[in-house]
Homo-oligomer: A and B are copies of this chain.
Amino acid sequence: MGEEVRVTNLHNRDGGNEDQNQEFDIYPLSSYYFGSKDTIPFKDHTLHHHLLRIQSKFFSFSLILCLLLISMSFLSSLILFLIFFLVSYAASGLRTSVEAVLLVELFKHPHLLLLQVRNSIYKLPGGRLRPGESDTDGLKRKLTRKLSVDEDGDGSEWEVGECLGMWWRPDFKTLLYPFLPPNVKQPKECTKVFLVKLPASTKFIVPKNMRLLAVPLCQVHENQKTYGQIISGVPQLLSKFSFNMLES
């Protein structure tokens, strides 16, 4: 009933610019099947682990670079430094991750599908891009690995929609920003959040060491302490949509 008010209102108001009314179809939780498959390794058990890992990768690369420089003449080392700097930054400086917003309907309210690891960390399904991989390809690969029956599938079942937002980590600290802060020239991590449209029915096959949960938007909203900055901001990023709650 609540949704009817919203949809009606939008239709009435937007006589002049109907393109502004952005609708998004979601299907009930009951139309999806949830199963499990073999455990897949999970690298970062806490945010602290994650930061340590990306920091150590970055610094081990810098160390090799320094040793090389010491053992060579000035000019050639300068050229090598520049080349290595660019390569090292692309290789291990800025990590780019892609994450998916998957929505289902329950009790007439949109619910977000979240992966839970070890009963504590909540994550949007997704992961890090390979060098040169496009956002869409990378996200399809990650979703297939974590949520599909056939881990080696081509990911064609995932319809990756628009980019909803991006978060930047300027240093090896915990805070993320929805913009590149002034004077930050070498951000360490960028996470892009995409809206992924689910079909009317599908099977989610989740590794045994993870749980897939449907969490209501109203629980996630501004609950940074439990869900972290990215997830707790998703309801705001979705607020422009009016949801069509369909029967499957």
Residues of A within 8 A of B (CB): 1-3, 5-6, 9, 12-17, 20, 22, 94, 96, 107-110, 129, 132-137, 160, 162-167, 177-187, 190, 216-218, 221, 233, 235-240
A179 touching B221 by the CB < 8 A rule? Answer: yes
CA distance A212 to B145 in the complex (A): 50
Of B5, B180, B233, which one neighbours A187 at CB under 8 angstroms?
Answer: B5
B1 touching A185 by the CB < 8 A rule? Answer: yes
B166 touching A239 by the CB < 8 A rule? Answer: yes
Q: Which residue in chain B gives the minimum CB-CB distance to A217?
A: B179
CA distance A12 to B135 in the complex (A): 10
A164 touching B17 by the CB < 8 A rule? Answer: no
Given pairs A5-B187, A13-B129, 16 additional interface contacts (CB within 8 A):
A2-B184, A6-B180, A12-B132, A16-B135, A17-B134, A17-B135, A20-B136, A109-B179, A109-B182, A164-B240, A165-B240, A177-B235, A178-B221, A179-B217, A179-B239, A233-B236
CA distance A186 to B6 in the complex (A): 9
Known: A164-B240, A165-B240, A179-B217. A185 touches B13 (CB 8 A): no
11 contacts between A and B (CB under 8 A): A5-B185, A5-B186, A13-B129, A16-B137, A17-B134, A17-B136, A108-B182, A165-B236, A165-B240, A178-B235, A178-B239
Chain B min CB distance to A180 (Å) = 5
Chain B min CB distance to A12 (Å) = 8
Of B16, B166, B221, which one neighbours A240 at CB under 8 angstroms?
Answer: B166
CA distance A134 to B47 in the complex (A): 46
Q: Which residue in chain B gives the minimum CB-CB distance to A180?
A: B2
- In the complex, what residues of B have CB within 8 A of residue A185's CB? 1-2, 5
Chain B min CB distance to A189 (Å) = 11
CA distance A134 to B17 in the complex (A): 7
A179 touching B1 by the CB < 8 A rule? Answer: no
CA distance A102 to B110 in the complex (A): 30
- In the complex, what residues of B have CB within 8 A of residue A15's CB? 132, 134
Known: A136-B16, A236-B236. A107 touches B165 (CB 8 A): no
Known: A9-B96, A13-B134, A181-B218. A22 touches B239 (CB 8 A): no
CA distance A202 to B129 in the complex (A): 42
CA distance A108 to B135 in the complex (A): 27
B22 touching A163 by the CB < 8 A rule? Answer: yes
